[in-house]
Structure 1
Amino acid sequence: MNLFSTTFNTLERALDYSSLKQKVIADNIANVDTPNYKPKEVSFKQVFDQQLNQPFEAIRTDSRHFEFQNMASDSLISTQQNIEYNENGNGVDVDKEMSDLATNQIYYDALSDRISGKFSTLQTVIRGGK
C-alpha cells in the first residue's frame, strides 16, 4: 500500500533534475575562460526517458512468462561540440548560461514551493484540520 500519492516521488525527481541542471550550468560558468572548454547541458528528454526506463520488479508465476530486463541509461549530461564563442576555443555563452540559470532557479523555487505545500497539507491532516 502506498501511503502517499506519487506526487512526492514526481516532485523529488523534478528537484533532482533541477539540481543536476544547476550543477552543469555552474560548471559552464566556472569554465568560461578555460581554453577549448565545450559547454555541457542536461536534456529534459534524457532525464524523462531514464525515469520511464527505470527497472521495475515483476513476479513471474510461470516459466513461460517473459523476463523484464534492466535497460541501461545513457549519460544525462551531453557536451555541445562545434561551438566556439572565443578565439581560445571556448564555447560557453555567458549570457545564455545566466539566462538558463535564472530559468532553472524559477523552476526550482516553484517545485520547492509545491512540495512545501504538500507537506503543509499533510501536517494539517495529521493535526486534524487545526
Structure 2
Amino acid sequence: MSFLTTNSLYMMERSMDYLWTKQAAILDNISNAETPNYKAKYVSFEENLRQKLESAAGGAKPKAEMRNVLQKTQVQVNEAQEATRLDGNGVNLTEQNLELSRNGYQLQYVMTAINNDFSVLRSAIKGQ
C-alpha cells in the first residue's frame, strides 16, 4: 500500500496531528484562564519541521529523506514562561480565542485537502 503513503499525504497527516494537538492546548489555556499561576501552553512543530525538510532537500536522496523527516518529527507542547497578570496566569484570553478560530479554519482546510486526494483516488479506482 505504499502508493497511498505519498509525502503529501504524510505531510497532511502530520499537519492534522499538529493542529489537533494545538486545539487541545488552546482549549486547556481557555479553560484555565482564571487559574492562578497557570502557564499558557503552546505547540511547536512548524519551525522544527521546516528546518529538517530544508536539510533533507539538499541530501543525496531527497524524497526518501523527506519521508523519513515527516515520519519522525514530533509535535511538542511547551509552557510559556511569562505571566501576563498579577496572579501569575499566563493566558491572554483574547489571543487564545483568536487562535482557536484560526486553528478551526486550518483544520477544515487540511480535512478538505485530504478528502480531495481520496476523491481523486476513488475516481481512478472506479474508472471515471
TM norm structure 1: 0.74
Question: Which residue number in structure 2 is paired with residue 29 of structure 1?
Answer: 30
Question: Which residue number in structure 2 is paired with residue 60 of structure 1?
Answer: none
Change in Cα spacing, 1:75 to 1:104, as seen in structure 2 (3 Å) is closer
Question: Which residue number in structure 2 is paired with residue 107 of structure 1?
Answer: 106
Name the structure where helix makes up a greater proportion of residues: 2
Question: Which residue number in structure 2 is paired with residue 2 of structure 1?
Answer: 2
Question: Which residue number in structure 2 is paired with residue 45 of structure 1?
Answer: 47
Change in Cα spacing, 1:95 to 1:74, as seen in structure 2 (3 Å) is same
Paired with 1:21 and 1:40, the residues of 2 have a C-alpha distance of 9
**Deviation at residue 26 of structure 1 after TM alignment:** 0.6
- 8 A Cα contact 2:12 2:114, kept in partner: yes
**Deviation at residue 50 of structure 1 after TM alignment:** 9.4
Paired with 2:96 and 2:47, the residues of 1 have a C-alpha distance of 19
- 8 A Cα contact 2:42 2:77, kept in partner: yes
**Deviation at residue 88 of structure 1 after TM alignment:** 1.7
- 8 A Cα contact 2:26 2:100, kept in partner: yes
**Deviation at residue 51 of structure 1 after TM alignment:** 7.0
- 8 A Cα contact 2:40 2:79, kept in partner: yes
Bigger CA radius of gyration: 1
Same amino acid, percent of matched pairs = 33
Question: Which residue number in structure 1 is paired with residue 118 of structure 2?
Answer: 119
**Aligned Cα RMSD in Å?**
2.6
Gaps of 5+ in 1: 53-72
Q: How many residues align?
A: 109
Question: Which residue number in structure 1 is paired with residue 92 of structure 2?
Answer: 93
Change in Cα spacing, 1:114 to 1:75, as seen in structure 2 (3 Å) is closer
Structure 2: which amino acid aligns with 1:22? Q
Change in Cα spacing, 1:128 to 1:74, as seen in structure 2 (3 Å) is closer
Gaps of 5+ in 2: 54-72
**Deviation at residue 49 of structure 1 after TM alignment:** 6.4
**Deviation at residue 2 of structure 1 after TM alignment:** 3.0
Structure 2: which amino acid aligns with 1:11? M
- Equivalent residue of 1:122, what SS? helix
- Equivalent residue of 1:77, what SS? strand
**Deviation at residue 3 of structure 1 after TM alignment:** 1.2
